[in-house]
A and B are shown apart, each in its own frame.
Chain A
Amino acid sequence: MKNSNLNMLVRASIVSNKILSCFFCFFVMLSTVLIMLSVNIIIPLSDNIQTKIINHITNREIYDTYRGKTDEQTIKNDIKKIKKLDHVEDIYLMPYSLTVSETSGVYFSQHMLDCFHNGYEPTITAGRNFKKGDDKVALVPQIMKDFNESENQINEIDGKSLIGKTLKFSDENQNKIKVKVIGAYRTVDPLFSGDEIIIPRTALIDYNNRVKNNSDIPSSVSEEKEYKILVDDAKNVERVLNEASEITYVSKANPVVDASSYSVAMMILLAISVLFTVMVILGIYMFLKNNISSRIDEIALYRSFGYKSKNIFYVLFTEHLIFGLISIIAGLIITQLLCTFIINGYVYSLVGNSLMEMSVNVTLIPSLGFIAVFVLILILISRKSVKISEKTDLTILLRS
């Protein structure tokens, strides 16, 4: 016997319970919207917390600082040993950022000449990022505040407008460097103060050396060498710190970003999702239980014809599966529309100008996961309902 033969009864059941069916569809659709919204906020939020906050590059870095007098061989040996440690992704010389003035009249106030940390992926808002082999090029902040002392006013300079221009910088000892702006970067990361002109690390090391060699006044550039140890994951930093401290003097900076407040927000969202899911399970259970009660004659009749529990299960399950899938698809469409027209605008107003890069969208895997969970819940509840229906007193057929 093919279960598909019973589709005739499924169709009749659907037609006969229009109002209840509509209520069920509305319930599942609303639940889909609420759960998918929560889940689709939790997923990017969790990802942001993990990658942009907990594993922010400054939370994965260890400082390895040497005094200027330390001989090169010692440094080389230390680096070699540190590189061999587990979880160390990179160890590199971090040049010092230098205070410079722009001499061609593009900027008036002083700025910092800096480079990106190794392993850091900047958000480029215009132009392009550095490529291998780039040397005399620069990235400027998306928007930079520049104080014009002679006019006594702060100008906002759009980084995009500088792309293609050549900037000429000079430090206090007139060490000059000329760079061409190739792009603008986003400065919302706490790593930036907002006035850094970024040049390739090799170019900054080179400039550091020139400053060191031509400097009249002793500075950190000439006093120390700072290496950064990049650890693969923030959770391994303590371990690497302990192991590296047996090789040389290493230290860890205070975290620039803190995940605790975001984690609380995520826990709240997670709790809401769980609550919604429990509501859905209870709702479906109550609905099916009532459905069985209201169709007791129909089920008793089927059983009098010799229908077994598996047959009754098929009818109940298929009927609700059809309703459920239609409602879930409608719910997913509504969720995406809500995300596009309302939620994303709101999310951007909350975290748009922060480290977070969040947009809420209905995605395939959570949607399929939701459908799978729904089907699983439906199977369990349908089985339970069929068990209840097994207690149906068939003699009611003779009493009516």
Chain B
Amino acid sequence: MNKAIELKNITKIYNHRVTALDNVSLTVNSGEFIVVMGQSGSGKSTLLQIAGLLDKSTSGTVLINGRDVSKLDKNQLAEVRKNSLGFVFQAFHLNSHLRLYENVMVPMLINEKYKKKSDMQKKAMELIEKVGLTHRVSHYPSELSGGEQQRVAIARALANDPDFILADEPTGNLDSKNELMIFEELKKLSKSGKGLLVVCHNDAVLDFADKVYIMKDGVLEEKNDEKQQS
């Protein structure tokens, strides 16, 4: 079975009058790097919220790996988020009182897959190595640069080995040098088979995306001059 997030005819209306998403359909397959661009308020973050099961649509269907999640209860949705989705946020959302490796371990703490704490630590170390921060493993977030913090967030998103990574403006708080570094990290993930849905308004991402969509007034359109990456 092809692993995919499928959004079918999604409409999201706030307060019965503001249409944030208007009949949007989108598929994120495993190994794909999908970028959604658009101006502030265009509805791209709403799309990410619905794809990430952080919010429910007014109408339409969300399928994750072929399973309709629209009617799942809170606990079932939590299970899907835990096992299939990883998040990267613009504001990093690292716990400032946990060391780097402990931050990476946070999603693992509720995962039955890890029987022992040492297993979690081992996995966290592997992920930290993957994002090139081995030398910072015992540091606290406040001792890291913005780029480093976002790399920690990427490592944390991979903690439970999800099929998909959803990133919301992952470079929004970073300088251009760190932007490229983060996009490169994300690209590596898609090459390793993870499906990526990145919401961004930074043109630098275009060099890394497999498909680019433009969101405008709640309507999603694929950008014609999409750039295929090898």
CA distance A30 to B123 in the complex (A): 45
Closest to B169 in A: A398
Q: Are A5 and B106 in contact (CB under 8 A)?
A: no
Q: List 5 A-B contacts (CB under 8 A).
A: A305-B81, A305-B110, A306-B160, A311-B110, A400-B90
Instruction: Name A residues whose Cβ lies closer than 8 Å to a Cβ of B.
Output: 1, 5-6, 8-9, 11-13, 15-16, 297-298, 301-309, 311, 390, 393-395, 397-400
Q: Are A306 and B79 in contact (CB under 8 A)?
A: yes
Please provide the 9 A-B residue pairs with the shortest distance between their CB atoms, ordered closest to farther: A306-B82, A394-B54, A12-B97, A305-B107, A306-B81, A5-B109, A400-B91, A306-B78, A15-B97
Contact among B83, B97, B160 for A16, CB-based, below 8 A: B97
Q: Are B52 and A8 in contact (CB under 8 A)?
A: no
Answer yes or no: B98 CB below 8 A from chain A CBs. yes
- Enumerate B62-98 residues with CB–CB distance to A below 8 Å: 74-75, 78-83, 87, 89-91, 93, 95-98
Give min CB distance, B181 to chain A, whole Å.
22
Contact among B49, B97, B98, B114 for A395, CB-based, below 8 A: B49
- Chain A residues near B90: list those with CB within 8 A: 398, 400
CA distance A130 to B21 in the complex (A): 96
Q: Are A397 and B45 in contact (CB under 8 A)?
A: no
Answer yes or no: B175 CB below 8 A from chain A CBs. no
Q: Are B95 and A12 in contact (CB under 8 A)?
A: yes
Instruction: Name B residues whose Cβ lies closer than 8 Å to a Cβ of A.
Output: 45, 48-49, 52, 54-55, 74-75, 78-83, 87, 89-91, 93, 95-98, 102, 105-107, 109-112, 114, 117, 120, 160, 168
CA distance A305 to B79 in the complex (A): 9
CA distance A307 to B78 in the complex (A): 6
CB-CB under 8 A for A305 and B112, given A395-B54, A397-B54, A397-B89: no
- Greatest chain A CB density within 10 A among B91, B110, B112 is at B110
Closest to B106 in A: A305
- Greatest chain B CB density within 10 A among A1, A9, A15, A306 is at A306
- Chain A residues near B74: list those with CB within 8 A: 308-309, 390
Give min CB distance, A337 to chain B, whole Å.
34
CA distance A394 to B81 in the complex (A): 12
Q: Are A297 and B55 in contact (CB under 8 A)?
A: no
CA distance A164 to B77 in the complex (A): 88
CB-CB under 8 A for A298 and B49, given A8-B109, A304-B87, A394-B55: no
Contact among B54, B75, B95 for A298, CB-based, below 8 A: B95
Give min CB distance, B60 to chain A, whole Å.
17
- Chain A residues near B89: list those with CB within 8 A: 397-398, 400
Give min CB distance, B142 to chain A, whole Å.
12
Q: Are A304 and B110 in contact (CB under 8 A)?
A: no
CA distance A397 to B169 in the complex (A): 12
- Chain A residues near B54: list those with CB within 8 A: 304, 394-395, 397-398
Contact among A12, A308, A394 for B75, CB-based, below 8 A: A308
CA distance A254 to B45 in the complex (A): 86
- Chain A residues near B45: list those with CB within 8 A: 395, 398-399
- Chain B residues near A397: list those with CB within 8 A: 54, 87, 89, 91, 93, 168
Closest to A8 in B: B102
CA distance A218 to B112 in the complex (A): 97
CA distance A302 to B78 in the complex (A): 10
CB-CB under 8 A for A398 and B96, given A8-B109, A303-B78, A311-B110: no
Q: Are A398 and B78 in contact (CB under 8 A)?
A: no
- Chain A residues near B78: list those with CB within 8 A: 303, 306-308
Q: Are A1 and B110 in contact (CB under 8 A)?
A: yes
Q: Are A398 and B110 in contact (CB under 8 A)?
A: no
Q: Are B93 and A297 in contact (CB under 8 A)?
A: yes
CB-CB under 8 A for A398 and B107, given A301-B93, A304-B54: no
Give min CB distance, A159 to chain B, whole Å.
69
CA distance A366 to B80 in the complex (A): 47
Q: Are B110 and A307 in contact (CB under 8 A)?
A: yes
Contact among A1, A13, A304, A309 for B112, CB-based, below 8 A: A1
Closest to A14 in B: B97
- Chain A residues near B83: list those with CB within 8 A: 306
Give min CB distance, B139 to chain A, whole Å.
15
Give min CB distance, B50 to chain A, whole Å.
10
- Chain B residues near A12: list those with CB within 8 A: 95, 97-98, 102
CA distance A12 to B49 in the complex (A): 27
Give min CB distance, A222 to chain B, whole Å.
91
CA distance A59 to B51 in the complex (A): 80
Q: Are B105 and A1 in contact (CB under 8 A)?
A: no
- Chain B residues near A1: list those with CB within 8 A: 109-112
CA distance A9 to B103 in the complex (A): 10
Closest to B115 in A: A2
Give min CB distance, B205 to chain A, whole Å.
17
Q: Are B168 and A398 in contact (CB under 8 A)?
A: yes
